[in-house]
Amino acid sequence: MRKKIVAGNWKMNKTYEQGLQLASEVVNMVQDEVPSDVVVVLNPPFVHLTSIRKLIPASATNLFLGAQNCHYQASGAYTGEVSAEILKSIPVDYTIIGHSERREYFQETNAQLAKKVDLLLANQITPLFCCGESLDIRESGTEIAFVCNQLTESLFHLSAEDFAKVVIAYEPIWAIGTGRTATSQQAQAMHAALRAHLATHYGQTLADDTSILYGGSCNPGNAPELFACPDVDGGLIGGASLKSRDFTDICKSF
Ligand code: PGA
């Protein structure tokens, strides 16, 4: 069944102490206030993962830990990188891959992301696969074809059984960190198109069961309208995930 998911992408923010403080606030607020059917994922910087893992009580069945990236090779001489196997040893539950900032600043390709998906799944970690178009592409009217192709090239090699473990996050690049969110109509139109594309390859049932999150300037003010869209199953939250009150309010926006 399709899950409601809110994932906080802290990006390169919060020192170690600040991160532990934020995580403990979120853990407490989520346990007190967020319905248990909403899956909440914290994605701090790598160095915070081990300590934040210990802050998440085993009894909190809807709180999960995620990383923001992993390498596309299994192991070896890749100085400064972190593998899916290392993440599993923490353990992390989710890992964001293909964020537009990684695609833009680190030239990540759809083919590399296909390898990352495989490694994460082999290590029992849920890939949180990001896709989305630039403003140029949207203005040219080709955004649906562009984003569908990102899914095709990075995910469609998966068996149905493996694909069922993937979560998708649609993040229009022009809405990330800009304060300019997609309208609920724009988000719904893209999410419905992505679900239809998934159905052509994996069938309607699996497409209907896939969680597709929206990301890009999502905040407590606009989350209720976005999450009310029939094909929007939650959010990937950047800036607003750095404040425990805002993030928790977003988690309560279904
Ligand atoms: P934003 O970032 O919420 O700050 O726009 C979202 C993201 O990049 O995941």
**Six-digit token string for 196:** 């239809």
Collect the ranges in the chain with pLDDT lower than 50.
Answer: none
Number of domains in the chain: 1
Please report the atom of ligand 1 found closest to the CA of residue 9.
9
Q: Within 10 Å of residue 123's Cβ, how many Cβ atoms?
A: 19
For a ligand 1 pocket test, name from 96, 237, 249 the mutation site with the most ligand atoms within 8 angstroms of its C-beta.
237
Distance CA 26, CA 129 (A): 23
Please report the atom of ligand 1 found closest to the CA of residue 215.
6
Confidence (pLDDT) at 1: 83
Per the prediction, the chain carries an average pLDDT of 97
Ligand 1 lining (C-beta closer than 6 Å):
9, 171, 176-177, 215-218, 236-240
Ligand 1 atom 7: the closest Cα is on which residue? 238
184-202 vs 143-155: helix crossing angle, rounded to 10: 40
Ligand 1: distance of its center to the CA of 240 in Å? 8
Catalytic residues: 99, 171
Say whether the peptide bond before residue 45 is cis (omega within 30 degrees of 0). Answer: no
Ligand 1: distance of its center to the CA of 141 in Å? 23
For 184-201, b where at least 16 C-beta lie within 10 A, e where not — what string?
bebbbbbbbbbbebbeee
Confidence (pLDDT) at 109: 98
CATH code, 117: 3.20.20.70
Confidence (pLDDT) at 139: 92
Distance CA 120, CA 142 (A): 30
Query: CB of 44 within 8 A of CB of 55?
Result: no
- Give the domain extent around 39: 4-251
Ligand 1: distance of its center to the CA of 104 in Å? 14
* Listed residue (15, 14, 12) closest to 99, CA to CA: 12
Burial class (CB in 10 A: 0-12, 13-18, 19+), 78: exposed
Query: CB of 43 within 8 A of CB of 64?
Result: no
Global pTM?
Answer: 0.97
Confidence (pLDDT) at 178: 85
At 117-136, the pLDDT tens digits run: 999 999 999 999 999 999 99
Query: CB of 38 within 8 A of CB of 8?
Result: no
